[in-house]
Amino acid sequence: MPRYLTLIRVDENNAPAEGPSPELQERMGKLLEEITRAGVMLETAGLVPSSQGTRVTWSGGRMSVTDGPFAEAKEVIGGYSISQCKDKAEAVEWTKRFLALHEDHWTITAEVREIAEG
């Protein structure tokens, strides 16, 4: 069965400073339990804010290292999951359910990509 990486992109400028509300955390926990019981979820985690991250870039034969925050970035990767689904449609459906849990003030996008095997 194929595996899928889902990257959760968050607009840090419009995300609540305190993070997800307790109610949202509860809803996410219940969905995570359901996905795990279904045998789909392999791994998932949220990430610390980009202000605590570092970018390493190779360009033009030179290496550069830049500590966050990254002013030019509107959206940053706020979390990820790795799931094993029968097809991409199933992976997208689980992702849609996850996004729909969020309150209206969130701006969140998910990118679902199949992991190349071999």
Q: Is 116 helix (H, G, I), strand (E, B) or coil?
A: coil
| Identity of the residue numbered 69 | P
Residue 14 has pLDDT above 90, yes or no: no
**Domain extent listing, the chain:** 3-114
d(Cα 117, Cα 65) in Å, to the nearest integer? 30
Give this prediction's pTM: 0.87
The dihedral through the CA atoms of 100, 1, 41, 48 has a sign that is: negative
Residue 73 has pLDDT above 80, yes or no: no
> Of 47, 55, 51, which Cα lies nearest the Cα of 9?
47
- The CATH classification number of 3-114 equals 3.30.70.1060
Q: What pairs with residue 79 in β-bridges?
A: 8, 46
Tokens of 55: 């970018």
- pLDDT 10s digits, 35-56: 999 999 999 999 988 889 999 9
Question: Residue for token digits 């607009």?
Answer: 11
d(Cα 81, Cα 46) in Å, to the nearest integer? 9
Q: Which residues contact 1 (CB under 8 A, 6 or more apart)?
A: 84, 85, 86
Average pLDDT over residues 59-74: 87
